[in-house]
Chain A
């Protein structure tokens, strides 16, 4: 891993078209600006962890009975609308 030190306002250039700028540091937080082409997706690492957790939670102890109840609520809502 490449580790380097930058000051506020300084930039990093990655490849031909990705630019990272250190905007502000405050205590433990660093505010970063990223300029990249539209086809490059930037993710916060936590989102993967969140989705993984949500997936695991969604299949654990899921009962057909609970889904039947959920379906009833859906139907009730639909009827109210009509």
Chain B
């Protein structure tokens, strides 16, 4: 068991074999390689990707498919090699969600920088998709309107 200090969830314990190792870390967080996934709530489409080494660094993640968004891309061979990923079924695909404070209806997912983890060996990368159809701020609930007047 590994004890992890977190800002949002206090001290948590996780099995060592649940820790992801990012061999191509999140851009802007190059020093952080180890993360764990924390479930948000039962039936929630969201999870937290919590840094093992930096208590305040945690990202909300989801697979856009949960929101009815078609999301398909090819992982370059260079990256599948890095991940030792030979079967698409072993790939866990997550995108980072941004929720503006006090305006959750405007939340967006970063489709241009997905996180790919090989669930067999738990190696991870943040991939950069150069195609312009992938936005860094794709609305998850495009029809949602502000709750307050």
Contact = CB atoms under 8 A, between A and B. Distances in A.
Interface in B106-133: 107, 110, 112-113, 126, 128, 130
B82 to A, nearest CB: 13
B78 A39 contact: yes
Interface of A: 39, 41-44, 47-48, 50-59, 61-64, 66-75, 77
16 contacts: A41-B76, A44-B130, A51-B112, A51-B128, A51-B136, A53-B28, A58-B110, A66-B99, A66-B101, A67-B46, A67-B104, A69-B104, A70-B46, A73-B105, A73-B141, A77-B143
Nearest to B105: A73
B29 interface: yes
Interface string B25-37: 0111100000000
Interface in B33-58: 40-41, 43-46, 56-58
A43 B130 contact: yes
Interface centre among A42, A44, A50 (most CB of B within 10 A): A50
Contacts of B28: 52-53, 55-56
Contact of B101 (A52, A61, A64): A61
B65 interface: no
Interface centre among A41, A43, A74 (most CB of B within 10 A): A74
Given A39-B77, A43-B130, A67-B99, A55 B107 contact: no
Nearest 3 pairs between A and B by C-beta? A51-B113, A52-B28, A70-B104
Contact of A70 (B56, B59, B107, B136): B107
Interface string B135-149: 011000101100000
Given A52-B28, A54-B96, A55-B28, A74 B45 contact: yes
